[in-house]
Chain A
Amino acid sequence: MGVTTLRENLQKNIAAVKQLLPSEDILTYEFETADGVSCAFVYVDGVVDKQLLGELVAKPLSNMNLQNEGGRYKNTLELIQNLVLPTELKEQKKLEDIGKEILNGNSLLLVDGYPSGVIVDAKSLPMRTITEPPTDVAVRGPREGFIEDIKTNMSLVRKRLKTPALRFETLRVGKQSDTAVAICWLEGTANADVKAEVKQKIQEIQIDSVPDSSYIAAFLTPRKHGIFHSLGKTEKPDVFAAKLSEGRVGILVDGSPIALTAPFLLMEDLQSGEDYFITPFIATIFRFLRLVAVFVAILLPALYLSAQIFKLHLFPLSLTLTIASSVRDIPLSPNLEMFVVLFLLEVLKEASIRMPKYVGMSLSVVGALVLGETAVSAGFLSTPAIIIVAFSGICMYTVPEFVETGSVLRWIFLIVAGSIGPFGIVLLGAFLLYYLVTADAFGTPVLAPFSPLIIHDLRDTVAKYDILRLKERPEVLRTNNRTRIRLPRKTSGQGGRS
């Protein structure tokens, strides 16, 4: 049986740790105190602030007479705490725990003659600065975005919710990655059942590594193959904090700037953080605009195609004639033409996301002007088809969170429309509605508050009520604390004209 705990001999301890962590980026720095006692740091190269370690720990120790002073202390931790400048310290004896601490970026300090090591937190992990998330740009309101470091993200949430009710519970997920996953909630506000379900599902995850929060989301989603997501996603701490404050449970994953929230309602996609910083009337107009835009984005190509093939009456006569003259000499069938144009749009979209920025401009010119213009003038594609798909593509981006789902739905509707026309569109729409009304995640119906109808919660859906009328948290979230705004009572002396 191998060594499992530290001994008193420094070299043996170093050897044991090196045996446990044989990788070449695990470094050892040995030094001696003024009276010749051997000490050593074991750490991962590149993730430790060596200057901090040197200034706060190694330098004071090397100037000390440890044999004279050390006898007064029971263990290494007490010794270090009293002799060096204070920093975040923790004593460890078990090699397995020590290995985890070192891999998490902490340093291990070993002193000859002491059978335990001290974990020194002097992490200096490379991380990017806090910037505005590219996927959720706001004209008004906070611009901070989450980054890949979970501690920073937790502090960004804490900055907004300075209450003892804000709780974090960190779990470790991933056999190889040992990723920190933090569940966040407001005690007394969030539904305890939802929190317990989230925790249980995370604890049950058996996976080697967790590169992103989407991996966690996959395990929390009740319908693994569904095209609608069952968890809210945001990169903005203000949105995340607002959702926690509303009574949801949040999940932060180390290494991912995307935070998850549960339960999720489909209407959340339609809401924008900015809606809460403008007047309710304007916000309602914008939300309605987004809702219409999403429907247009999904259905317009399908309706155009089905009208062309199955139901010409959908168009007014003049438009029918215009379209007829445009498509007369097109060699492709309406089905194929629409598929080609939509395929081009999807390819351009994928390419413009992934290609280097300096090529992006050229791609837009090539894609939009050269391909589109040339294809029309060559008689390969018709102008209406390009207009329809382009407009649909623009409309889709009014709700960025819905783009992936919307794109898939657009394809499905197009295929159905090309096969059985408007009948298929209505049928598929009815099917999706039936699917959605019966889809619950974390005990919450995703189509609420429309189905089941919760009249109180309609105040913050398509219509956005004044903030003073949103005194209570959404009923559908089954929070333990409904009231969120307490208006001062009017007394007889207040509010009147003087």
Chain B
Amino acid sequence: MTTLSTPKTDGILSRQIAFAAAFLLPTAKLLEAPSILAKDAAGDLLFPALLHFLVQAGVLFAVLVAASRSEKPLLTRLQEKLGRGTIVLYILYGAYFVFAALLPLLDLEKYTYAVFFDTSPTVFSFVFFFFLAAFACTKGIKGIGRIADLCLFLFVFPFLALIVMSLTETDFSRLLPLFGTKFGDTMSAFTHATPYFSDAILLLPLVGNLRYEKGDTLKILGGYGVGAASTLLFLAVFFGIYGSIAPREHYAFSKIAQYFPALSTVGRIDLIFVYLLTAVLFFCTCLPLQYTVDLTCRMVGTERRTLFSALLCGALFVFVLYANRHYDFFHTLIRGHLGWIFWFVADMVPLFLLFLPKEREVKRG
């Protein structure tokens, strides 16, 4: 029989969660999501994205409201309430995070080969990413918080640099007329991009470890707002540059500044910023894997993460090796047929946290 370990508050701060929302999560939306949104929504690509952000902000708000009802971390209360029944949730979310990691991993692999190599790399080149992932998985939630802090520097400067370099070539009139795309197509873009915008669930394990203080909701939602705003700005600039060919421009952030006039003289210095954003993207891709290992360790009642990290990363490497030949199939499968999983597990189930009873007033932080 497995025994549940007492959930440990792993020293995460609301500021770090806000930074994760503002600077870590947006990178996942700057890779394939822009071309996917542009494919169906064309110049109206901002609307499905905005709709996603509003939905996710709503889910996040609900989670934060649940967290604000006690001084105890959410996961602790959940376990106290459900007892051994928490195992079911841990299994559900452990599996969900693995599922949620598949598409980003496949995208990351393709992106890596396209952006980092002029030559044709071996299929094993990508294996090294899993060393990083396995190492990250051995660190707890505290590590994610620290990385989120660091992303303030790793994300903001390269992102602004790329945007500034892109602005000279941007024609914002390409976004006009507003609502020029059929509603059905806009909603189709909204549906197809769902896996890239399921953010609230990626913040849930962090909020679950947070000792809530008054004002944290505003702080974290503010951080999410900054992330959303920067993504929308990026999408606008991206479509402003590429217009009708945007659906064919994959790996958006690696291409957005490539027409900056000075690059022909000084070389692709934009790649320095692209590489820095890639480091953030690596951290972002590791997130669901870290959560899976964390949940597994809670379930088994151990602090020894190395074995689970190695097993998970090894299995995912084998999957990527196999799936890269069937990239389009998996894209269609996950974004199309299995898209409901994101809605159900990531957006609906967390709402049940609102049913956790209020424990006592939270003091001002």
A residues whose Cβ falls under 8 Å from a Cβ of B: 309-317, 319, 420-427, 429-431, 433-435, 437-438, 445, 447, 450-453
Q: Is B131 in contact with chain A by the CB < 8 A criterion?
A: yes
Q: Which residues of B contact A433 (CB under 8 A)?
A: 147, 150, 154, 279
Contact A427 B275 (CB under 8 A): no
Contact A434 B139 (CB under 8 A): yes
| Least distance between B109 CB and chain A CB atoms (Å) | 11
Docked CA distance A311–B282 (Å): 20
Contact of B268 among A313, A427, A434, A452 (CB under 8 A): A313
Q: Is B116 in contact with chain A by the CB < 8 A criterion?
A: yes
Contact B267 A316 (CB under 8 A): yes
Q: Is B16 in contact with chain A by the CB < 8 A criterion?
A: yes
6 nearest A-B pairs in the assembled complex, by CB-CB distance: A423-B116, A316-B267, A437-B146, A451-B150, A453-B149, A451-B149
Q: List 28 A-B contacts (CB under 8 A).
A: A310-B117, A311-B116, A312-B118, A420-B121, A422-B116, A423-B116, A423-B125, A423-B128, A425-B275, A426-B278, A427-B129, A427-B131, A427-B132, A430-B283, A431-B135, A437-B143, A437-B147, A438-B142, A438-B143, A438-B146, A445-B146, A447-B146, A447-B150, A451-B147, A452-B16, A452-B149, A453-B19, A453-B152
Docked CA distance A224–B283 (Å): 26
| Least distance between A498 CB and chain B CB atoms (Å) | 47
Docked CA distance A311–B121 (Å): 11
Contact B282 A430 (CB under 8 A): yes
| Least distance between B161 CB and chain A CB atoms (Å) | 15
New A-B pairs, 4, CB < 8 Å, besides A316-B263, A453-B15: A310-B119, A316-B267, A421-B117, A445-B146
Contact B132 A431 (CB under 8 A): yes
Docked CA distance A453–B149 (Å): 6
| Least distance between A406 CB and chain B CB atoms (Å) | 19
Q: Is B157 in contact with chain A by the CB < 8 A criterion?
A: no
Q: Which residues of A contact B16 (CB under 8 A)?
A: 452
Give the one of B116, B119, B146, B283 with max A CB within 10 A. B146
Q: Is B271 in contact with chain A by the CB < 8 A criterion?
A: yes
Docked CA distance A185–B185 (Å): 69
Q: Which residues of B contact A451 (CB under 8 A)?
A: 146-147, 149-150
Contact B118 A427 (CB under 8 A): no
Contact B275 A310 (CB under 8 A): no
Interface majority SS (helix, strand, loop, mixed), chain B: helix
| Least distance between A418 CB and chain B CB atoms (Å) | 13
Q: Is B136 in contact with chain A by the CB < 8 A criterion?
A: yes
Q: Which residues of B contact A423 (CB under 8 A)?
A: 112, 116-117, 121, 125, 128
* Given known A-B contacts A316-B266, A431-B132, A434-B135, A450 and B282 have beta carbons under 8 A apart: no
| Least distance between A446 CB and chain B CB atoms (Å) | 11
Q: Please name the residue on chain A nearest to B15 by beta carbon.
A: A453
Docked CA distance A316–B13 (Å): 44
Contact with A along B120-152 (1 / 0, CB 8 A): 010001001101100110010011011101101
Q: Is B2 in contact with chain A by the CB < 8 A criterion?
A: no
Give the one of A309, A435, A450, A452 with max B CB within 10 A. A452
Contact A311 B267 (CB under 8 A): no
Give the one of A310, A427, A434, A437 with max B CB within 10 A. A434
Q: Which residues of A contact B267 (CB under 8 A)?
A: 313-316, 319
Docked CA distance A438–B10 (Å): 13
Q: Which residues of A contact B15 (CB under 8 A)?
A: 453
Contact B135 A435 (CB under 8 A): yes
Docked CA distance A490–B328 (Å): 71
Q: Please name the residue on chain A nearest to B277 by beta carbon.
A: A426
Contact of A429 among B119, B121, B143, B279 (CB under 8 A): B279
Contact A437 B116 (CB under 8 A): no
Give the one of A314, A445, A453 with max B CB within 10 A. A453
Q: Which residues of B contact A427 (CB under 8 A)?
A: 128-129, 131-132, 282
Q: Please name the residue on chain B nearest to A437 by beta carbon.
A: B146
Number of A-B contacts (CB under 8 A): 99
Q: Which residues of A contact B13 (CB under 8 A)?
A: 452
Q: Which residues of A contact B142 (CB under 8 A)?
A: 438
Contact B112 A438 (CB under 8 A): no
Q: Which residues of A contact B275 (CB under 8 A)?
A: 422, 425-426
Docked CA distance A316–B121 (Å): 23
Docked CA distance A421–B125 (Å): 10
Docked CA distance A447–B152 (Å): 14
Q: Which residues of A contact B264 (CB under 8 A)?
A: 316-317
Contact B116 A450 (CB under 8 A): no
Q: Which residues of A contact B145 (CB under 8 A)?
A: 452
Docked CA distance A431–B134 (Å): 10
Q: Which residues of A contact B263 (CB under 8 A)?
A: 316
Contact with A along B10-46 (1 / 0, CB 8 A): 0001011001000000000000000000000000000
Contact of A431 among B112, B125, B131, B271 (CB under 8 A): B131
Q: Which residues of A contact B282 (CB under 8 A)?
A: 426-427, 430
| Least distance between B310 CB and chain A CB atoms (Å) | 16
| Least distance between B317 CB and chain A CB atoms (Å) | 14
Residues of chain B in range 249-301 having any CB-CB distance to chain A below 8 Å: 263-268, 271, 275, 278-279, 282-283
Docked CA distance A312–B119 (Å): 10
Contact A452 B146 (CB under 8 A): yes
Q: Which residues of A contact B118 (CB under 8 A)?
A: 310-313
Docked CA distance A422–B263 (Å): 19
Docked CA distance A447–B153 (Å): 13
Docked CA distance A451–B24 (Å): 14
| Least distance between B349 CB and chain A CB atoms (Å) | 30
Contact A450 B150 (CB under 8 A): yes
Q: Please name the residue on chain A nearest to B121 by beta carbon.
A: A420
Q: Please name the residue on chain A nearest to B142 by beta carbon.
A: A438
Docked CA distance A60–B118 (Å): 90
Docked CA distance A429–B19 (Å): 20
Q: Please name the residue on chain B nearest to A429 by beta carbon.
A: B279
Q: Which residues of B contact A309 (CB under 8 A)?
A: 119
Docked CA distance A82–B199 (Å): 85
Q: Please name the residue on chain B nearest to A445 by beta carbon.
A: B146
Contact A313 B149 (CB under 8 A): no
| Least distance between B223 CB and chain A CB atoms (Å) | 13
Q: Which residues of A contact B128 (CB under 8 A)?
A: 420, 423-424, 427
Docked CA distance A423–B147 (Å): 20
Q: Please name the residue on chain B nearest to A317 by beta carbon.
A: B264
Q: Which residues of A contact B143 (CB under 8 A)?
A: 434, 437-438
| Least distance between A183 CB and chain B CB atoms (Å) | 29
Q: Which residues of A contact B116 (CB under 8 A)?
A: 310-311, 421-423, 426
Give the one of A311, A420, A447 with max B CB within 10 A. A420
Q: Please name the residue on chain A nearest to B13 by beta carbon.
A: A452
Q: Which residues of A contact B283 (CB under 8 A)?
A: 430, 434
Docked CA distance A316–B16 (Å): 39
Q: Please name the residue on chain B nearest to A435 by beta carbon.
A: B135
| Least distance between B175 CB and chain A CB atoms (Å) | 29
Contact B153 A450 (CB under 8 A): yes
Docked CA distance A445–B149 (Å): 13
Q: Please name the residue on chain B nearest to A307 by beta carbon.
A: B267
| Least distance between A424 CB and chain B CB atoms (Å) | 6
Q: Which residues of A contact B271 (CB under 8 A)?
A: 311, 313-314, 422
Docked CA distance A170–B15 (Å): 43
Contact with A along B318-359 (1 / 0, CB 8 A): 000000000000000000000000000000000000000000
Docked CA distance A317–B263 (Å): 10
Q: Please name the residue on chain A nearest to B140 by beta carbon.
A: A438
Q: Which residues of B contact A437 (CB under 8 A)?
A: 143, 146-147, 149-150
